[in-house]
Structure 1
Amino acid sequence: MFASLLSVRALLVAIFMLMAGSGFLATLIAIRLEEAGVGALVIGLVATSYFAGLMFGALRVTPLIVRVGHIRAFAAFVSIYSASSLTYALTDYWPIWIVLRFIDGFVMSGVFVCLESWLNRVARPDNRSAILAAYMIALYLGQALGQFLLNLQDNAPSLPFMISAILLSLTLLPVVLTRIAQPVMEDIAPFSLRRLYAASPLGIVGVLSTGLMMGAFYGLGAVFAQRLGLPLALVAAFTSIVIAGGVVLQYPLGILSDRFDRRRVIVGTMLATAAVCAALVLADGPLAVFVPGALFGGFAFALYPLCVAHANDHLSEGERVGASSGLVLVYSAGAVVGPLLGSFAMAMAGPGGLFAAIGSVALLAALFGLWRTIIALPVPAEEQQAFVGLPRTSTAAAVLESEPSATTDQNGDS
């Protein structure tokens, strides 16, 4: 297993540096807009622009990568992201930031497709789980640690954007110097929404709901913390601890879902998310948000892989890649709407409106799940697909979670 990870160490270093340099930008941009006095609705619009770019990129970047190759495409995507990060330091005009965030989302989608399809090239049945786990650790660790770069703006407002651009530029080195051969891109055709819903109603509703919740949090979580009175250092700590919580609980909940009716685990996780959101709404002091924040990350981050696993329980082996890639797009659609929903709730009800909206989505999804458990029989535990922790990144992750296809070069609810 260790040898397998050494073979992809360049890609793991790249994703860590990429997330360290870009993962905190959503938080930083939300804070800057809040300090500039723009309303929650504008902050939500800027945030939703990123997810719109991510969704558009998921549909459009693959032909570009096929045409120019992984290394050239990766270099182009990261270079554009680095230039975009520096542009934020030149202007604080929010309509321009909307355009920049759309570009950020588009190129980030391309980066994820490049890295994940590359990892899939060297993954084999005996090391696939280890590579996927290492990838997720690098991704979330970089994102969590990157939040603390927010503290650099005390010295110079433009410094965090410059550091972001430096880290993004350095991300190119391990990739352009790698000796891993470029993979053959697979044409993944997602299921239609009708087929996805027919196969697993709870799977698609759960993924859509998770996109709504996570899009709202990533877009406005920092604004929530800041409006509660947390200083910048604690805002960074709050967002970081939410991400860390998502890593800690994902696998324990996944193992639980392998042993029992997965629908009940999803419903329980949705209800737990709603309860934690209620605690965040009712928090009586700035420091009272940290424990429920960690729990929110733990439960909410686990929902996407749980729902994907549940959908896969109702699909044949040959259908799972297409269905999973379709679920990524459903998640992205929810994430586009999430910041708008969260910003409207905050405009109406203050800071706590964000988690009131997220909790309401979780509660509605839980009620839908309960309805499904009443009207449909469960998949027997012994017939369920084993849980796999998944990033919510690109359609290429759908291939990474599955067995390699015949075209892959092995060298390198119902």
Structure 2
Amino acid sequence: MIASALSVRALLLAIFILMAGSGFLSTLIAIRLESAGVPSLIIGLAATSYFTGLTLGSLRAELLIARIGHIRAFAAFVTVFSASSLAYAILELPTIWIVLRFIDGFAMAGVFVCLESWLNRQATPTNRSTVLAAYMIALYCGQAGGQFLLNLGQDAPDLPFMISAVLLSIALLPVLLTRMEQPQIEAITPFSIRKLYAASPLGIIGTLANGAMLGAFYAMGAVYVQRIGMGLAQVALFTSCVIAGGVALQYPLGRLSDRFDRRRVIIACFAITAAVSAAIAALELPAIGTIAIGSVFGGFAFALYPLCVAHSNDHLDEDQRVGASSGLVLTYSVGAMAGPMIGSSAMSAFGPAGLFAVIGALSAGAALFGIWRTVRRAAVPTGEQQLFQSLPRTTPMVAVLEAEDMGEDS
């Protein structure tokens, strides 16, 4: 594994630094808007703007990359993102911040497309799983670790934005100095919603619901923690533990789904997420209890997307998986765009508890849909299920790396 990771170390270092410098911005911006007395709906709109930019960028960024090459495109996207991070400290207006979040999302999508297509070019049939695993570790470790940069803003409000810009600029170096050959962008045609639903109803409904759940959490989770009386350091720890919990349980739950009817594992994850969300909404826990139960929430909620992708692939031929997996990434993104507005509306109507109440309702609804599907359709025999592959929810380009890997494992 070490040798495989070292072969793409420049790309892994770049994504780690990028996520450390950008992964905490959504939390920071939500906290700052909340502190300024901005309504919940505006905070949700800022998050929706980011996910909209991320979705559009994942569809359009490849045109620029194909025209000027990966290194130049990567430099352009990161430079724009770095400038945007500094602009938050200069232009402290909610309307401007909503526009900046869209720019952030579009730039981040361009970065993901660059790195993921490059990783696909460097991966071989023997190390593809290892490369994908190393990419996920670098991505989520950077995102979880970056949350603690929130603490730097207690005495100097502009400092976190400056540090974000510095880290994003430093992330350019591994890519600009690399001697790896630049790949060609692979054209991907996602499945239509109709085809995705026909192939795997639970796969697409589960992915859509999971996108809405996590979109709501990323948008309003930090606001919830602040409104129940926790400080900035505890906000950072809570968010980091949710992400860490999500990484920790993906592989064990995935392997469990390889041994049993995968739908039952998906239903159980949705049901447990609903129960945990209900507990968070209903109980007045001490700070350590909220952080602990938050990690359990992350463990099951974050595992749902790769489980739904794996379930969809169980019903597809090998040559259909790239289009289906990329279509599921876009389906997740649609859910993520809607989630912040759903979560912020619930908090406006019902107070802080409304966030996890609506996340729990979405999760419970998906679990009931899954139960209905087990009645309507026979299970795929466990021996014919494709092996689970843990994967990030980034852009359709990661579907090439993931789907080819599953094809080689099957």
TM-score range, shorter chain: over 0.9
Please name the residue that 1:326 is paired with.
Answer: 327
Moved more, 284-293 or 138-147: 284-293
Alpha-carbon distance between aligned partners in 2 of 1:371 and 1:136, rounded to the nearest angstrom: 33
**Within-5 A mapping of 1:189-268:** 189-268=189-268
Please name the residue that 2:51 is paired with.
Answer: 51
Q: Is the CA contact (8 Å cut-off) linking 1:216 and 1:338 kept in structure 2?
A: yes
Residues 144, 404 of structure 1: alpha-carbon distance in 2 compared, 3 angstrom cutoff: closer
Please name the residue that 2:61 is paired with.
Answer: 61
Say which SS state the counterpart of residue 395 (structure 1) adopts: coil
Say which SS state the counterpart of residue 205 (structure 1) adopts: helix
Alpha-carbon distance between aligned partners in 1 of 2:76 and 2:358, rounded to the nearest angstrom: 38
Q: Is the CA contact (8 Å cut-off) linking 1:82 and 1:165 kept in structure 2?
A: yes
Say which SS state the counterpart of residue 385 (structure 1) adopts: coil
Task: Show structure 1 runs of 5+ residues with no match.
Answer: 406-414
Letter in 1 for 2:5: L
Alpha-carbon distance between aligned partners in 1 of 2:38 and 2:403, rounded to the nearest angstrom: 44
2:188 matches 1:188: yes
Please name the residue that 2:292 is paired with.
Answer: 291
Structure 1 residue 286, shift from structure 2 partner: 4.2
Please name the residue that 1:134 is paired with.
Answer: 134
Moved more, 96-105 or 283-292: 283-292
Structure 1 residue 92, shift from structure 2 partner: 1.6
Structure 1 residue 179, shift from structure 2 partner: 1.2
Q: Is the CA contact (8 Å cut-off) linking 2:325 and 2:403 kept in structure 1?
A: no
Alpha-carbon distance between aligned partners in 2 of 1:125 and 1:316, rounded to the nearest angstrom: 19
Q: For residues 379-413 of structure 1, what are the alpha-carbon distances to aligned partners after superposition, in whole Å with 9 as ceiling and x for unaligned?
A: 000000000001000111101112279xxxxxxxx
Alpha-carbon distance between aligned partners in 2 of 1:23 and 1:341, rounded to the nearest angstrom: 22
Letter in 2 for 1:388: Q
Please name the residue that 1:411 is paired with.
Answer: none
Letter in 1 for 2:351: G
Q: For residues 192-230 of structure 1, what are the alpha-carbon distances to aligned partners after superposition, in whole Å with 9 as ceiling and x for unaligned?
A: 110110000000001000100010000110000000100
Letter in 1 for 2:345: F
**Within-5 A mapping of 1:267-282:** 267-282=267-282
Please name the residue that 2:380 is paired with.
Answer: 379
**Within-5 A mapping of 1:93-172:** 93-172=93-172
> Considering only aligned residues, what root-mean-square deviation do their CA atoms show, in Å?
1.0
2:319 matches 1:305: no
Letter in 2 for 1:96: I
Alpha-carbon distance between aligned partners in 2 of 1:114 and 1:280, rounded to the nearest angstrom: 38
Please name the residue that 1:12 is paired with.
Answer: 12
Q: Is the CA contact (8 Å cut-off) linking 2:213 and 2:336 kept in structure 1?
A: yes
Q: For residues 309-341 of structure 1, what are the alpha-carbon distances to aligned partners after superposition, in whole Å with 9 as ceiling and x for unaligned?
A: 000000000000000001110000000000000
Alpha-carbon distance between aligned partners in 1 of 2:167 and 2:283, rounded to the nearest angstrom: 36
Q: Is the CA contact (8 Å cut-off) linking 2:13 and 2:174 kept in structure 1?
A: yes
Alpha-carbon distance between aligned partners in 1 of 2:62 and 2:372, rounded to the nearest angstrom: 38
Q: Is the CA contact (8 Å cut-off) linking 2:86 and 2:161 kept in structure 1?
A: yes
Alpha-carbon distance between aligned partners in 2 of 1:245 and 1:223, rounded to the nearest angstrom: 20
Q: How many residues end up aligned between the 2 structures?
A: 405
Letter in 2 for 1:348: A
Say which SS state the counterpart of residue 89 (structure 1) adopts: helix
Structure 1 residue 124, shift from structure 2 partner: 1.4
Alpha-carbon distance between aligned partners in 2 of 1:54 and 1:110, rounded to the nearest angstrom: 8
- TM-score under structure 2 length normalisation: 0.98
Say which SS state the counterpart of residue 302 (structure 2) adopts: helix
Identity fraction in percent:
67
Please name the residue that 1:339 is paired with.
Answer: 340
Q: For residues 47-102 of structure 1, what are the alpha-carbon distances to aligned partners after superposition, in whole Å with 9 as ceiling and x for unaligned?
A: 11000101111111111110110000000000000000000001221000010000
Alpha-carbon distance between aligned partners in 1 of 2:148 and 2:400, rounded to the nearest angstrom: 33
Q: Is the CA contact (8 Å cut-off) linking 2:150 and 2:236 kept in structure 1?
A: yes
2:363 matches 1:362: yes
2:401 matches 1:400: yes
Alpha-carbon distance between aligned partners in 1 of 2:153 and 2:91, rounded to the nearest angstrom: 16
Alpha-carbon distance between aligned partners in 2 of 1:274 and 1:292, rounded to the nearest angstrom: 12
Task: Show structure 2 runs of 5+ residues with no match.
Answer: none
**Within-5 A mapping of 1:68-107:** 68-107=68-107
Residues 299, 404 of structure 1: alpha-carbon distance in 2 compared, 3 angstrom cutoff: closer
Say which SS state the counterpart of residue 401 (structure 1) adopts: helix
Q: Is the CA contact (8 Å cut-off) linking 2:129 and 2:405 kept in structure 1?
A: no
Alpha-carbon distance between aligned partners in 2 of 1:392 and 1:200, rounded to the nearest angstrom: 19
